[in-house]
A and B are shown apart, each in its own frame.
Chain A
């Protein structure tokens, strides 16, 4: 190869790298944290529908891994390369709203025919509105659920969690007992896997808050930390015992993927059903167990937002309205439980996902109805950073849970 050719190749390569970002005026960039083909197919389907009214608009979905999502998103915004739209989790909402990073889409929503904004309950919109402004529309109000490996339950002759839920005997103590029974070290099967296996890192809040709430505790209310309350400590102790006394919960640094049959139980959301398409075992879904404080359904919320710095704000807002219209919310309900009352209450919702029986979908609907959203805060990133090393300190056999949580609360109190 001649040097000239090499030079040309290099120039072409650098050049193509340089211009790849010069977004076409009609392209909307939409950041999501899913890489699942089933999810992306559905999202692209919605984008294609939008083309009927906006023939020159294409939507490009950009997948950012969940663990880095907020960080990467902020970097893109600070770097002058903001996406037009994106998903946002409940815990980031206050920080983004306060920083003025989100576009107010209320005008577009009200101008959209048949949008029926009132279909979203005030409680569902709580995090996403400020006065008359609307900064996002929840597309997923997803309760945490228990997934269990029915094959393992049947083989052990145990009563399944959903049966117990109907009987009213489905408690965290029971889950702990089941997990210990079903743990089979020789076969490499664990009793319980934390949310997506990330219950000690990215999803430590998702892991602990449902238990803490079932025991009558909470993260914080009105600027006071409650994570060191006796209720919270008792709840954490239960989980701690599962790891270090029973040896049934997958410990930090260990793998026990529920979806490949390596754990008997896990807690996660309905969208993960897509991971069970090829499962070689029977599985079932049950509501979160109850605790001393009764049932405490916990809901994770995610919204579609348009970014204030976006280059095509008008069209972005229109696409946001289109994506969250009744028709498309019903479509997304297959994976993302809707916040629209009309969709949630309709019969179509119960059979929206062929992999999930109507009875199972009812559990989801109940969870949404009774659930409270995960904690969020304007300073959530800082709170998370402060809390992380303290949470780490919980994960050893002899950890003093009360002392650790007291220290954690002292650390984050000034931020609340």
Chain B
């Protein structure tokens, strides 16, 4: 056997191995699509992935069952808002902690770092009463404020600081020479240079908000105010039995657009993680 063929065989083995490994990652999506097009009784009774009859009506029934479009929009606007605000506030704070010397900055940093890993479960109970006092119960405010100022916001600040630390200072000094204010340097010089970090942090923050489950569960009552994760868990009939076919169809509607965006932007996403130094 020549070295060449040997290498070829190794390569084929690798690919077969990876394909096998990919099954549990890919099959759920295929099964979801198949289930989304089946009738309620069919979801389990038939093992076939191809529905015996295609029920496109599942997709319209979702919208009759609950205000799914509104819920979709809720998730989307909250995630966009949280991401935008987090990027702005976290990059500003991160910039100050990396570049500006001021007494107390070390203390602020320490405070933030100690909260870096704290899950929201730790503070959810007092936050429940705080939100009640502020009149934010059954509104979207907790879903915006808690990620922004909780561990996710802190994480974003910390990552931005790490990125700015690694950024060469020269360009900013040139900006100072041109008479830009501190804010001007941050906004006009540093921020444009930190696009990879911003997009990596932005992606993480967006996903965090998009996936948020505990907070909506605790803070939101009205079905019109539900976010997608809550809405997906809410496809049950009168007596609490899941409406599998609708649940799967709704899940498909929630997942597919994200998958498409991801596939289109996958190279940039991986690159931004590589360039941002989100690795410590």
Contact = CB atoms under 8 A, between A and B. Distances in A.
* Contact, chains A and B (beta carbon distance below 8 A): yes
B139 A198 contact: no
Given A66-B239, A260-B40, A272-B239, A76 B140 contact: no
Contacts of B241: 196-198, 257
Contact of B138 (A10, A39, A79, A197): A79
A67 B41 contact: no
B141 A21 contact: no
B132 A20 contact: no
Given A36-B238, A63-B223, A188-B45, A79 B73 contact: no
Interface in B65-80: 65, 73-74, 77, 80
A14 interface: yes
A93 B219 CA distance: 25
A202 B240 contact: yes
Contacts of A52: none
Nearest to A274: B238
Contacts of A196: 239-241
B234 interface: yes
B77 A79 contact: no
A261 interface: yes
Which of B136, B237, B244 has most A Cβ within 10 Å?
Answer: B237
Which of B44, B221, B224 has most A Cβ within 10 Å?
Answer: B221
Nearest to A272: B239
B240 A66 contact: yes
B238 A21 contact: no
A191 B117 CA distance: 51
Contacts of A257: 40-41, 241
Nearest to B80: A10
A49 interface: no
B204 interface: no
B225 interface: yes
Contacts of A221: none
Contacts of A260: 40-41
A17 B74 contact: yes
Given A14-B140, A262-B41, A275 B224 contact: no
Q: How large is the interface on A (under 10, 10 to 19, 20 to 34, 35 or more residues)?
A: 35 or more
Contacts of B239: 33-34, 66, 196, 198, 272
Nearest to B139: A18
A10 B241 CA distance: 35
Contacts of B232: none
B221 to A, nearest CB: 5
B73 A261 contact: no
B222 interface: yes
Nearest to A271: B238
Contact of A18 (B80, B128, B141, B223): B141
A67 B219 CA distance: 18
Contacts of A63: 223
B137 A80 contact: yes
A411 interface: no
B239 to A, nearest CB: 4
B218 interface: yes
A156 interface: no
A130 interface: no
A261 B41 contact: yes
Which of B80, B140, B218, B239 has most A Cβ within 10 Å?
Answer: B239
A283 B110 CA distance: 69
Contact of A21 (B45, B144, B222, B234): B222
A275 to B, nearest CB: 7
Contacts of A198: 239-241
Given A33-B239, A260-B41, 5 more contacts: A36-B237, A39-B238, A75-B218, A75-B221, A255-B44
Shortest 3 CB-CB contacts between residues of A and residues of B: A66-B240, A260-B41, A36-B238
Interface of B: 40-41, 44-45, 65, 73-74, 77, 80-81, 128, 131-132, 136-141, 144, 218-219, 221-225, 234, 236-241, 244
9 contacts: A14-B141, A18-B136, A20-B138, A21-B137, A34-B238, A78-B132, A202-B240, A257-B40, A262-B45
